[in-house]
Amino acid sequence: MADTAERTAEEAPPRAPRRVLDAFLRRREASVLLVALALMVYFRASSDVFLSRDNLVNIAQATAPTAIVAVGIVLLLVSGEIDLSVGIVAAFAPFLLHFAIDYYGVPVLLALVLALALAAFIGLVNGFIVTQLHVPSFVVTLGTFFAVQGLLLITSHAYPVPIPEPVQGTFQTWIGAGPWASITWAVVIVAVFHVVLTRTRWGLHTISVGGNPVGATEAGIRASRIKIGNFMITSALGGLVGIMEAARINTIDPNIGGGTTLTFYAISAAVIGGTALAGGSGTIVGALLGALVLATLQNGFNLIGYSANTIYLILGLAILASMIANQYLSRLRRAGKS
């Protein structure tokens, strides 16, 4: 049987360019990359300033936070979980930095590590409740969302604070205020975690735990450890994004730079990028492209002159359309492969 299959394949060898194209189209990221390029072409045609340096910086700065948080979201979705609290962790983290530096005189780098460690701790709590107390992550992280929001408002008195003195200058530029700072971080983080997901044991076990939880445990994989780890990575990345955004907008504000919007954008980016909510498969590069699509849509329609309110409607429809398209395309892809 296998012999016949091999022979037929030999009889009709696909031409090389065709094969390359096939291989490309079979990649999960292909469709979203095409969408991103199409949008770029469209907006370039409709607006002269779309490809200007300043506007590219705008798009880059809008892409980065979503992309970085989406990295964590993809890891969680692949392992069969979700995190709705990551956005509020992002809002909380710059305050942790501020408390450490301004109240306790902690040096900047150490304060950054502390803030990220505390953010990761929130992820640890999420992961612990999900895996040890067997509560669905949707509910758990909804709970932590409100709890952390409460903590944030209590500790900050709901007032913005200036960027701590020692952070200003070089550190602020490098972490997020520089025009290309945040997108550079995003690309590096995406690259690293793409390798983690596709080329390391951690990634393989993340896929296993989400794809077949019972089978993975039978094979001796410690599912709880993988899931808790991914919750911690997600929260830490959320914390980093919060600090980056504070540096960029030059103020630490409890009401912007985080919350549900960031979370929802990140989940959208992950799903537009081709990650299934069912667990077991996902792509981090796709999520970066998904974030790029979201940022481009928002930026482009803004340039064309639509009001912010209309853009939300367009964004919503675009998200629905791309998710339906993705669903359809991945079914086609699956049918084509087997």
Partner 1 sequence: MTTAALQARGIAKRFGALTALSDINLHVDPGEVLGLIGDNGAGKSTLIKILCGYHQPDAGQIVVAGQEVTLRSVDHARSLGIDTVYQDLALINELSVYHNMFLNRELVRWPLLNNRAMKRRAERHLKDMGVNLPDVGVEVAKLSGGQRQAIAVARSVYSDAKVLLLDEPLAAMGAKEGTMILDVIRDLKRRGDVSVIIIAHNYAQVLDVCDRVNLLQHGRITFDKRAADTSLEELTDLVVADYRRRR
Note the residues at the interface with partner 1 (CB under 8 A): 1-2, 5-6, 195, 199-201, 204-205, 207-208, 211-212, 214-222, 280-281, 337-338
Give the shortest CB-146-to-partner 1 separation in angstroms. 34
Give the shortest CB-135-to-partner 1 separation in angstroms. 21
Q: Give the 3-state DSSP-derived string for the chain, with helices as H, strands as E and coil as C.
A: CHHHHHHHHHHCCCCHHHHHHHHHHHCCCHHHHHHHHHHHHHHHHHCCCCCCHHHHHHHHHHHHHHHHHHHHHHHHHHCCCCCCCHHHHHHHHHHHHHHHHHHCCCCHHHHHHHHHHHHHHHHHHHHHHHHHCCCCHHHHHHHHHHHHHHHHHHHHCCCCECCCHHHCCHHHHHHHHCCCHHHHHHHHHHHHHHHHHHHCHHHHHHHHHHHCHHHHHHCCCCHHHHHHHHHHHHHHHHHHHHHHHHHHHCCECCCCCCCHHHHHHHHHHHHHCCCCCCCCCCCHHHHHHHHHHHHHHHHHHHHHCCCHHHHHHHHHHHHHHHHHHHHHHHHHHHHHHC
Give the shortest CB-266-to-partner 1 separation in angstroms. 22
Give the shortest CB-78-to-partner 1 separation in angstroms. 9
Give the shortest CB-69-to-partner 1 separation in angstroms. 24
Give the shortest CB-279-to-partner 1 separation in angstroms. 9
Give the shortest CB-188-to-partner 1 separation in angstroms. 16
Label residue 161 left, alpha or beta by phi (over 0 means left) and psi (-120 to 50 means alpha): beta
Closer Cβ to partner 1, 6 or 165, answer by number: 6
Closer Cβ to partner 1, 127 or 203, answer by number: 203
Q: Which long-range CB contacts under 8 A does 102-106 form with residues at least 24 apart? A: 102/161, 102/164
Closer Cβ to partner 1, 225 or 259, answer by number: 225
Closer Cβ to partner 1, 173 or 217, answer by number: 217
Give the shortest CB-334-to-partner 1 separation in angstroms. 9
Closer Cβ to partner 1, 94 or 203, answer by number: 203
Closer Cβ to partner 1, 4 or 309, answer by number: 4
φ, ψ at 252 (rounded to 5°): -105, 105
Closer Cβ to partner 1, 22 or 165, answer by number: 22
Closer Cβ to partner 1, 257 or 280, answer by number: 280
For the chain, the straight-line distance linking the first and the last C-alpha, in angstroms and rounded, comes to 15
Closer Cβ to partner 1, 27 or 222, answer by number: 222
Give the shortest CB-89-to-partner 1 separation in angstroms. 27
How far apart CA 112 and CA 106 sit, in angstroms, is 9
> Comparing C-alpha atoms, which of 149, 147, 167 is closest to residue 158?
149
